[in-house]
Structure 1
Amino acid sequence: NVELWLKIDGVEKQHGNTSDMLFTVQKLIAHISTIFTLNEGDLILTGTPSGVGPVRPGQMITAGLKGLTEITFGVHERPKAKL
């Protein structure tokens, strides 16, 4: 089981654990790998804990897996489509 979290501008907005998921990570990997070849570095997106909300340009998001890794990135305004 892995604890996961997400912060916006340093304020924790989401917190969860893989033990809260309907299917274990192992079962997800086993099933997905029957359909796709999984390679090192591939991401499997499984949904999100409660606490989903909007973000604004200029905010910083940090997401992490306790004891494993974390990533920080900025929110930017979407470029306008060229017609």
Structure 2
Amino acid sequence: MENWWVNALWSITPTVLIGIFFFSVLRLILRADRTERRVYREIENEERAKLGLPRPTPQTAPDKVAPSPQPAQRGRTGCST
């Protein structure tokens, strides 16, 4: 019975380790993105202050991009023979 538990542990170990690795890489990417956005926002606010412009409102903030309009639907084109 002891051999069964050792085999089970060795079977699940690679999956758990890869899961932990994936989680940590994804967490690092998200943290880096959040930090980059914060620094960009600080730089933009400093530049706006130098130029005497008002701070951006939440509706016009660079993070909030308006959705692009959908292109018009086109009919089928082609020759009928």
TM range (shorter): under 0.3
Q: Which has the higher contact order (CA 8 A, sep 6+)?
A: 1
Q: Larger C-alpha radius of gyration, 1 or 2?
A: 2
TM-score by length of structure 1 reads 0.27
**Structure (1 or 2) with the greater helix fraction:** 2
TM-score by length of structure 2 reads 0.28
**Structure (1 or 2) with the greater strand fraction:** 1
